[in-house]
Amino acid sequence: MNSAKYANLPDIDTAPDVYETEDVPPLEQGNKGDGSDEERERPRKHGEAGNGEELDSSSLIAMDAASLRFRKAEQRRERLRTTYEDDDEPAKLTLSHRLQALQIELGALEAEMADPTNPQVSKEKDPGELIRGIVDVRDRLEHIRKGKEGRGRLVGVVLEDHGLKEIQDKDTDIDEKDASEKRPSLGLVEMDERVGQLEKLVGSSTTALDELSPLPPPLVPLITRLNAQLTLLTQPRHIDSISRRLKLLLSDLDRTAAHSHRRQGFPTQRSSDDYGRAVPHVLARLRTLSGLHAAASEFDATLKGLEEEQRQIKESLAELEGAVEGVEKSLEENRGVVKGNVEGLEGRMNKLFKRLDEIQA
């Protein structure tokens, strides 16, 4: 498959490369002038005599096809470019102005990327790479901005105590040397932010920065212990051993529970045995007392009859007492009447006797 792919390429092992020649010094190019360019651009004919080191180009592919085929290789090759500073160059901007300009340019680039009708976006082979680069630039700008706030300010104070140089005047000009000296502090700020995020995840970031509150436990032993536990729990043999120990423990617990139930049942069984021995005697006593219970029921019925008769007698006696009292009252009344009649009769007889005496006299 590889032989078919590179079948049309020339054999580059037996002769120098035609397409990649050594760079000609500028002096030699200036001496040759325009004529050398014309001679170099003029194609050679088949059979034309040339230098001994050059190859016959009749069997080679065309220049356009070769440029298309080796375009990626030419793009990847790095070229050294030398820039020269101009004395008439205007004064350099401050870091704040450069940061603001970068933010403005980044916003414009995001607006162009968000426009679907932009022809430059459609020309790009992989727009995802552009978006990834924009996100990377934005993250770096955010890190630079956060370096002046929060923990970055605290780290800056600590760095000032140790004698490191920092720039506090925003209106003064800052050159490239000062910016390169400040890069380690920015790296420390980023590291401190990452440590703060890690502390938030662990839960030890709530400690106040004063001398009264105790320091939180160190993170390294905690992470080491968690890593060891995770290593133990993720190994299949440890999980199998833990499952086996759990099964043994559950079986031991079941046996212990059954044994405790049996031990609790022993006193109950002993007391029930004692009660079972007394049950026959109680049954015999109840059988002997069954006749007494029957006689007692009959006596109860007789007693109830006697009570009923006594009640009737009491009622009749009460009626007789009432009648006797009525008779006594009537006798008293009759006695008074008879007494009055007798007294009246005696009075009349006395009067009669008196009249008779008067008549006789």
More confident residue, 323 or 218: 323
Number of domains into which the chain is organized: 3
pLDDT at 139 over 50: yes
Do 139 and 239 lie in one domain? The reply is: no
Do 243 and 265 lie in one domain? The reply is: yes
Q: How confident is the model at residue 192 (pLDDT cuts 50, 70, 90)?
A: confident
Do 68 and 137 lie in one domain? The reply is: no
Do 63 and 106 lie in one domain? The reply is: no
Tokens 């004919």 label which residue?
45
Domain range for 27: 2-76
Do 123 and 186 lie in one domain? The reply is: yes
pLDDT at 126 over 50: yes
144 in any annotated domain: yes
Do 189 and 102 lie in one domain? The reply is: yes
Do 110 and 164 lie in one domain? The reply is: yes
3-state DSSP helix/strand/coil % of the chain, to nearest 5: 70, 0, 30
C-alpha R_g of the chain: 67
More confident residue, 302 or 235: 302
End-to-end CA distance of the chain, in Å? 206
299 in any annotated domain: no
- Position 164 scores a pLDDT of 42
pLDDT at 271 over 70: yes
Q: What are phi and psi of 14, to 5 degrees?
A: -95, -5
pLDDT at 226 over 50: yes
- Position 138 scores a pLDDT of 73
Lowest-confidence segment of 169-173, 241-245, 272-276 by average pLDDT: 169-173
Domain boundary among 13, 48, 76: 76
Summarize the confidence of residues 15-20 as an average pLDDT: 54
Name the residue among 165, 110, 113, 164 with its Cα closest to residue 137: 110
Domain boundary among 11, 43, 76: 76
Do 174 and 102 lie in one domain? The reply is: yes
| The pTM of the whole model exceeds 0.75 | no
- List of residues 6+ apart from 190 with CB closer than 8 A: 143, 147
Domain boundary among 178, 206, 234: 206
Do 148 and 197 lie in one domain? The reply is: yes
C-alpha to C-alpha distances, 52 to 15, 49, 252, nearest whole angstrom: 11, 9, 97
- Position 325 scores a pLDDT of 93
Do 202 and 101 lie in one domain? The reply is: yes
CB 137 within 8 A of CB 129: no
